[in-house]
């Protein structure tokens, strides 16, 4: 259950990040377009919604827009401020290059979700 909570904190962390170059209105409008698509008609699975939220929030944390999160960028997130949060960077940085790619973050989220579901006696879909 604690791991599941950490996954939720991670998603919330990504949602709570700040950027100096975009206004709150810009971010909300962009997020709505991304989540609902340009037509707003497609419904996404819960898994797709989580991954889309991770992708969107990753882009907000990536303040220098290089497509990867440095440790400093990651430390600006809410998850990094949680007890043990900074260690997540090392766990998610699979190749050990000191940066988190969107793929590494997505893989970590999916793995964390699977572990959380397993600990609750449920199987991942």
Q: What is the CATH number of the domain that holds 23?
A: 1.10.238
More confident residue, 16 or 58: 58
* pLDDT band with cut points at 50, 70 and 90 for residue 117: confident
Asked if residue 124 belongs to a domain, the reply is: no
Asked if residue 50 belongs to a domain, the reply is: yes
Asked if residue 21 belongs to a domain, the reply is: yes
Asked if residue 46 belongs to a domain, the reply is: yes
More confident residue, 124 or 105: 105
- Whole-angstrom CA distances from 37 to 15, 47, 82 are 18, 16, 32
Would you state the pLDDT for residue 51? Answer: 86
Asked if residue 111 belongs to a domain, the reply is: yes
More confident residue, 83 or 39: 83
Would you state the pLDDT for residue 33? Answer: 61
- What whole-number distance in Å separates Cα of residue 125 and Cα of residue 123? 6
Instruction: List the structure tokens of 10.
Output: 């991670």
* pLDDT band with cut points at 50, 70 and 90 for residue 123: confident
How many domains is the chain partitioned into structurally?
1
Would you state the pLDDT for residue 99? Answer: 97
**Segments forming the whole domain that contains residue 64:** 2-119
Would you state the pLDDT for residue 82? Answer: 87
- What whole-number distance in Å separates Cα of residue 59 and Cα of residue 115? 25
Asked if residue 27 belongs to a domain, the reply is: yes
* pLDDT band with cut points at 50, 70 and 90 for residue 35: low
Instruction: List the structure tokens of 35.
Output: 């989540």
Asked if residue 115 belongs to a domain, the reply is: yes
Percent of the chain with pLDDT over 90: 32
Q: What is the pLDDT of residues 45-61, one digit of tens each?
A: 888 888 888 899 899 99
Asked if residue 125 belongs to a domain, the reply is: no
């Amino acid at each position: 259950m604690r791991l599941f909570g950490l996954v939720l904190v991670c998603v919330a962390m990504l949602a709570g990040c700040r950027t100096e170059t975009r206004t709150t209105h810009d971010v909300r409008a962009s997020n709505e377009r991304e989540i609902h698509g340009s037509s707003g008609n497609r419904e996404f699975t819960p898994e797709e919604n989580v991954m889309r939220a991770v992708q969107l929030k990753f882009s907000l944390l990536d303040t220098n827009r290089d497509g990867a999160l440095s440790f400093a960028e990651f430390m600006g997130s809410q998850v990094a401020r949680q007890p043990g949060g900074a260690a997540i960077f090392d766990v998610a940085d699979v190749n050990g290059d000191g940066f988190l790619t969107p793929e590494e973050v997505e893989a970590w989220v999916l793995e964390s979700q699977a572990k959380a579901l397993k600990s609750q006696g449920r199987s991942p879909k």
